[in-house]
Chains A and B, each alone.
Chain A
Amino acid sequence: MEPYSTHTGVVAPLPRVNVDTDQIIPKQFLKRIERTGFGGFAFFDWRYLPDGKPNPEFELNRPSYEGASILVARRNFGCGSSREHAVWALLEYGFSTIIAPSFADIFFNNCIQNGVLPVVLPEEQVEELLRKAEDRPGYRLSVNLRTQMLYDTNGFEVPFDIDPFVKERLLHGLDDIAFTLKQEDRITAFERERPRWLTPSDRT
């Protein structure tokens, strides 16, 4: 996983509430057994017309958002299915940062696992960013995870909150498993105390 510290990129607005992971990556693309190859299918049903051409109505298809790496959306982004494929798809599409007033829990965790920064901002600030991104094609924003600041070159500057543990993990691109395996002794000790009946065995 790539460490995340600072990032500057074009902002793409997706002014919708409750964007669910079924929209981010529809089910027909969940059959792959690899972690890659999902980017082309991100927002598939919104992004393409039935004949396979890009849907000009879909926000992210506008030329000014090409190459965008920061996604701004409304409340409860990533709700629904636990599919991590949604984060893989967004990452491969080019997004390293997602800004919204709130995220669904599983999606949030999946972002952290993949080095994608989910930024929670108050609703008014999200609306302001949505407006800026819509009004000024190519609008760019900078993120500094160390100082927990978002800013542009025109005086927009807001701090954001993030759990210190999550921040550490993103800054260092840490692998949870290696970290947990260092607790081997504690896990083994815990297992010794578990009653025997907690381990299923077929009694039929």
Chain B
Amino acid sequence: MASNPKTLFEKIWDAHVVQQGDGKPALVYVDLHLVHEVTSAQAFEGLRLSGRTVRRPDLTVATVDHNIPTVERLLIRDEISRKQVEALKRNCEEFGVPFYGIDSDRQGIVHVIGPELGYTLPGLVIACGDSHTSTHGAFGAFALGIGTSEVEHVLATQCLVQKKPKTMEVRVDGKLPRGVTAKDMILGIIGRIGVDGAVGHVIEYSGEAARSLSMEGRMTVCNMSIEAGARAGMVAPDETTFAYIRGRPFAPQGDDWEAALERWRSLPTDPDAAFDRTVVIEAAELEPYVTWGTNPGQVVPVSGRVPDPASVESPAEKAAAERALEYMGLEPDTPIQEISLDRVFIGSCTNARIEDLRAAAEIARGRRVHPGVQAMVVPGSSQVKLQAESEGLDRVFSEAGFEWRDSGCSMCLGMNPDVLQPGERCASTSNRNFEGRQGKGGRTHLVSPQMAAAAAIAGRFVDIREW
């Protein structure tokens, strides 16, 4: 028994506190700072105005993802988008920050390239001006989203001023049933604890079902921790983690690798460590899910129906449910599988890694997209795209009638030209179904890649377990 048992999060936190005064937030060291074009321009400008520099460009890495077109990508027709992309390139040159530009084969969604290039490692503190930075927690890192002022702070000092968050264990016991994916696991969790269920907490996912996920699956789960309001999500590092990292371009090698492994093996939560809260979920109770409303907690099993706001007790929640149904153009009690679709989007930092594309391609193979549906597949990075093409997945998708695009955030938030038209209904593998997220008036239903591919083919939601 450890004399002072600690959780994974506490071990990382304690190892990164540079300074802490009584009752004050800590000054926490940041090992890796990821930067993209949307939340960084004002931060670099702040440095310039105050005559400051980037303290550790060697611990900083930047790419462009949000604004990038997914066809003819070198041609950003939107002038303001182009300016933003160019501003990042200029800022990186000026401040000496490594930069993967639009023409780099290492470009991609910032949360996809960090892991795949071997920047993301266990035990690190990782910060990025993006809420889905929680993704990197899948490696047993403390990875948190920050605002632009904090981005400037990290650039200038390589530290963050942080109040220590509370800890929360989400234990998923047993085995996931067939057809139930990592995406369904996290949708099921958010459906249970709510979109503010983990505010102020760092979640550690434990239990057999969480631990048996692949790295891609763990990233999907940690990615959406922010949709439950969590400060971060984490999974303890293990052999699965080490096998994924080994040999990646920026991963430690040789003696460094051995030193790293030794450190990483000491990270998992001690058996007798205490969490501030624990939530236990039986994997057997999870199903494939579909969101029906305008936040990721408004979710039902694919076998279910659109809920009736009349059955909601709290007046505030009832009003929210009524608003959501009106926005979504749905009637209470409609079976989910009778909802038909106009668009399907397979992409985003939640579900556009190679494993996601393989799973979706398996469903699409030898079938045809429904004539009423426009479906697109957007790889999470240029590396994912190349890998998928080397496996012939692009042909599988194209032959089935899916559009095969270049990598980027794309219709996850539609800052580039990929947007829903008002009233269009979309099955999406992304992470947010907020009003207007994918385009003003667009209606988003969040699902797994398998469910999205099947929906594209059927033209409506179908239960992947019966596929």
Contacts and interface: CB of A to CB of B under 8 A. Distances in A.
B387 interface: no
> Which of B32, B150, B251, B432 has the most CB atoms of chain A within a 10 A radius of its CB?
B150
A145 to B, nearest CB: 18
Contacts of B104: none
A109 interface: yes
A23 B23 CA distance: 35
Contacts of A106: 131, 145-147
30 contacts: A15-B319, A16-B316, A17-B316, A30-B38, A32-B84, A35-B42, A45-B440, A76-B199, A82-B39, A82-B147, A84-B147, A104-B196, A105-B199, A105-B200, A105-B229, A106-B145, A165-B23, A176-B149, A177-B52, A180-B156, A180-B157, A180-B159, A183-B159, A186-B18, A187-B18, A194-B29, A194-B31, A198-B121, A202-B250, A204-B249
B335 to A, nearest CB: 26
Contact of B31 (A27, A105, A198): A198
A203 B250 contact: yes
A189 to B, nearest CB: 8
A69 interface: no
A110 B145 contact: no
Contacts of B29: 187, 190-191, 194
A13 to B, nearest CB: 13
Contact of A109 (B31, B41, B147): B147
A45 B87 CA distance: 28
Interface of B: 18-19, 23-25, 27, 29, 31-32, 38-39, 41-42, 45, 50, 52, 55, 58-59, 61, 66-67, 78, 80-81, 83-84, 87, 118-119, 121, 124, 129-131, 145-150, 152-153, 156-159, 161, 163, 165, 195-196, 199-200, 226, 229, 231, 249-253, 256-257, 259-260, 263, 295, 316-317, 319-320, 323, 413-415, 422, 432, 434-437, 440
A15 B315 CA distance: 11
A177 B159 CA distance: 9
Contact of B42 (A34, A165, A181, A197): A34
Given A16-B320, A80-B432, A84-B39, A190 B18 contact: yes
A191 B213 CA distance: 34
B149 A114 contact: yes
Given A22-B437, A26-B440, A203 B249 contact: yes
A183 B18 contact: yes
Interface in A78-124: 79-85, 87, 102, 104-106, 109-110, 113-114
B256 A196 contact: yes
A181 B157 contact: yes
Interface of A: 15-18, 20, 22-23, 26-28, 30-35, 45, 50, 74-76, 79-85, 87, 102, 104-106, 109-110, 113-114, 163-165, 176-177, 180-181, 183, 186-187, 190-191, 194-204
Contacts, number: 195
B39 A180 contact: no
Given A18-B196, A106-B145, A177-B157, A195 B259 contact: yes
A34 B316 CA distance: 36
- The secondary-structure label for the interface of chain A is loop
Contacts of B165: 105
Closest 9 CB pairs of A and B: A33-B41, A113-B149, A197-B256, A84-B147, A110-B147, A76-B196, A31-B80, A197-B252, A84-B148
Nearest to A165: B24
Contact of B295 (A20, A27, A83): A20
A32 B80 contact: yes
Contacts of A84: 39, 42, 129, 147-149
Given A27-B414, A75-B196, A165-B24, A177 B145 contact: no
A110 B260 contact: no
Contacts of B316: 15-17, 74-75
B157 A18 contact: no
Contacts of B158: 187, 191
Nearest to A195: B259
Contact of A20 (B24, B199, B323, B434): B434
Given A31-B81, A113-B149, A79 B229 contact: yes
Given A26-B440, A33-B42, A33-B83, A180 B200 contact: no
A164 B22 CA distance: 11
Contacts of B147: 82-84, 87, 106, 109-110, 113
A156 to B, nearest CB: 21
A187 B119 CA distance: 22
B229 A31 contact: no
A195 B259 CA distance: 9
A104 B157 contact: no
A198 B126 CA distance: 12
B156 A200 contact: no
A57 B55 CA distance: 49
A199 B252 CA distance: 9
A203 B251 contact: yes
A104 B199 contact: yes
A163 to B, nearest CB: 7
Contacts of A105: 165, 199-200, 229, 231
Contacts of B19: 183, 186
Contacts of A83: 38-39, 147
Given A33-B84, A113-B150, A17 B415 contact: no
A18 B197 CA distance: 12
B27 A180 contact: yes
A110 B149 contact: yes
A164 B81 contact: no
